[in-house]
Structure 1
């Protein structure tokens, strides 16, 4: 029986160490062959880092890792490309200078790995630009640029707008280089939790394609029903699949619904297959609750929020729309979509029982600090939970 890849974000480790792997290479292949600049937003712990690492190994031509996978005979592994990988997942930065140091360190790591000598010895946009152009010249190929958790330095400071704005400006300097070095770039992929507006963070990079709500790539992260039953079959003996679906499925980005992979792995690993709020318990949405309280959101309305593209599409440090934050962080998902004249409207709702019960309980606990609204809130929240409908 293959092992469950709990916390494993390195593709080569999953393949070489006999872990279960859900093959996403067909979707990755379609993505790479459909354009050049891509952006993907998914909730935390949804497999974004593994996706980035898989793409890296693919472009580096590590053919042995892909034996038996869909892409094995579709990809030209003899064609190898140099890869710059930037990951902001490690550490929390409270000063712009700390972020600059981290960026410089990561770029120096890439420089060393690829055997490049750069004249620029301080972090400026010129350094990143020089690195890209020299890598391309040395290898005679255009460069692959993969950026994981592109927004984490901003989100870590979202409760302190001044610091968040400084982080945004520093990242904007870094990402602006992608436009000026376009001729030296083969493929770019950025992943994160949130979607900041192009104007605020990707000024000039008008060709960055957002695949967050694109049915063709909706299952690029997360497990489909078929993924679950095929890859984890040995772990599902005597498991009530309908109950698993109720608890952990339901995430939708207009394509097939998917399971939260973090939930599934911990559920399958638990003694007696215990239904718990695994994903929710890894992060407390304190800032979100403060925002909901400030904007006077009526909690049971989360059963059905209607929002236009502009509402769920992006937010910024200067103004955060609760519906956008709820959707992008995974507390709400798309139930359906309709077009009214020139307007596209989405219906948002809870993805599953875990999120619905956990978020409402957490909100109830948070609001209980205000005794005068305790009774009114409690009855409304539990009525909403009772009227459960994920179809």
Structure 2
């Protein structure tokens, strides 16, 4: 049984060491047939972007042509007309994946080091260089230059390689947006934008030495002006109808891999957990998660790393009523209608108008339905992403540890006084004062949703649904009709002395508005009514 290439993105190493490989070499044929000179592919993290770029490098590279030819033996591309392009061009392959820094000064230093490392790979060319090409090459390779002079570094390298081989150059730039997102997060975006706009455009636009440019990233940063000068760029996002199965795994590929590892009986569970991504007209699985499942044979969330968690945490910082209600619909399996432009303005990444688009292109949402060329219905793709959101959401509202477990045990066992004590403790120890300010209904709505997520499975939780003579705030309905149900009405006040009075009003409202009608119609006999009053971080519950 072949080893699994978890975390490996070097195509040559993967093939030579005989790791299990999903044949994606049809991507090479598509790239060759594609008439656009510069292509940008945006896909979520860990969907095979770097491995595909590495594959292109070894395919096109004129250096070690015969040795690299062997890498494609018995793969799809070997049998195609496009294989004649193998080993025909000099290649520059630059990954910006790790180009992140907390300050612009640190970013400057990292760029200088990165380009020094790149030029050092071509140090064998130095003996053939003369004049300014020699001097400029040496200055970059030996880190004797300043950032201002590096905007045209890649174009210089294409010129040198062209003169060496008399062949135009293929330029591959992986994770082009990584330093831009880092700059946005750390507050030096304008400086980074100015540099990278020059850095990319000089090598990709009107460059007579360029055969083809291929870039990958997660988002298309067009509004920021990075690519405004590139009229030869074609972008392929997850919404595009081309290259739909070049990234991610098709069902056919997943079924075959499960059979190869003797666990084909798990296909239904695997589909629930890791399928559900819609790229164009193709439905694909998360490749990172599939590889890990094949290895560990355990259904759980694998698609987790620091950057992923940070994004969700940033999303959950935007505690607006609309955001919480939208998340609630998503958690309940409903679709979310949104306008998606296919571009991202980094200055507004986490604003409400950009939020859902960012989550879509980052892999946390997927397309359920295309309404027209700009409007889509979005949903959570699968159980894995839902679990990731659920865990992060619960941590935000209830902290780590067993607090939520004990809180909900007290509730479902109808120990309401203990429930009040434990909820009070959570508010005092795990919640920001700003979250509980008067008028911030979204926070309490989120608190409710967190409880609903925790009880998922044994209970059905509903909020803001019509029943009797009005709409209740929150109902916990047991799937087992012999168990107890709970109706909660929340009210907030800015006067701590009125907590008792307000909680009593909330309880009376449940009875006056007959919120229990729908529960009784569903055959529930045991119901607890709870009026819950908040004053910032103080709480009072009246119940019967």
* Shared fold (TM-score, shorter chain, > 0.5): yes
More strand by share: 2
What is the rounded CA distance, in whole Å, between the counterparts of 1:164 and 1:50 in structure 2? Answer: 28
Task: Please state if 1:316 is matched with 2:345.
Answer: yes
**1:95-106 alignment, distance < 5 Å:** 95-106=103-114
RMSD: 2.5
Answer whether contact 2:69 2:87 (CA < 8 A) is retained: no
Pick from 231, 235, 244: which aligns with 1:206? Answer: 231
CA deviations on 1:147-197 (whole Å, 9 max, x unpaired) are 11111122234433x223332332222112134443211111111122211
Which residue in 1 is equivalent to 2:301?
277
* Per-residue deviation, 1:379: 4.9
What is the rounded CA distance, in whole Å, between the counterparts of 1:347 and 1:153 in structure 2? Answer: 31
Q: Which has the larger radius of gyration?
A: 2
What is the rounded CA distance, in whole Å, between the counterparts of 1:93 and 1:225 in structure 2? Answer: 39
What is the rounded CA distance, in whole Å, between the counterparts of 2:58 and 2:171 in structure 1? Answer: 13
Which residue in 2 is equivalent to 1:176?
201
Which residue in 1 is equivalent to 2:329?
301
What is the rounded CA distance, in whole Å, between the counterparts of 1:364 and 1:43 in structure 2? Answer: 24
Pick from 366, 386, 391: which aligns with 1:356? Answer: 386
Which residue in 2 is equivalent to 1:64?
70
CA deviations on 1:6-56 (whole Å, 9 max, x unpaired) are 111000111011101111111331123112211111111111110110011
- Unaligned stretches of 5+ residues in structure 1: none
CA deviations on 1:309-353 (whole Å, 9 max, x unpaired) are 42xx122222121011111111001112122xxx53221111111
Between 107-116 and 255-264, the greater mean CA deviation after superposition: 107-116
Task: Please state if 1:250 is matched with 2:276.
Answer: yes
SS of the residue corresponding to residue 337 of structure 2 reads strand
- Unaligned stretches of 5+ residues in structure 2: 140-144, 399-430, 437-442, 461-544
Between 355-364 and 371-380, the greater mean CA deviation after superposition: 371-380
What is the rounded CA distance, in whole Å, between the counterparts of 2:23 and 2:104 in structure 1? Answer: 39
Aligned residues: 379
Answer whether contact 2:151 2:196 (CA < 8 A) is retained: no
Task: Please state if 1:290 is matched with 2:324.
Answer: no
**1:124-203 alignment, distance < 5 Å:** 124-160=150-186, 162-197=187-222, 199-203=224-228
1:258–1:125: structure 2 CA closer, same or farther, 3 Å change rule?
same
Answer whether contact 1:178 1:205 (CA < 8 A) is retained: no
What is the rounded CA distance, in whole Å, between the counterparts of 2:322 and 2:177 in structure 1? Answer: 24
**1:36-55 alignment, distance < 5 Å:** 36-55=37-56
What is the rounded CA distance, in whole Å, between the counterparts of 1:294 and 1:300 in structure 2? Answer: 11
SS of the residue corresponding to residue 71 of structure 1 reads helix
SS of the residue corresponding to residue 6 of structure 2 reads coil
* Per-residue deviation, 1:268: 1.3
CA deviations on 1:271-327 (whole Å, 9 max, x unpaired) are xx21111113553122222245597442123332222342xx122222121011111
1:367–1:24: structure 2 CA closer, same or farther, 3 Å change rule?
same
Between 348-357 and 71-80, the greater mean CA deviation after superposition: 71-80
TM-score normalized by the length of structure 2: 0.65
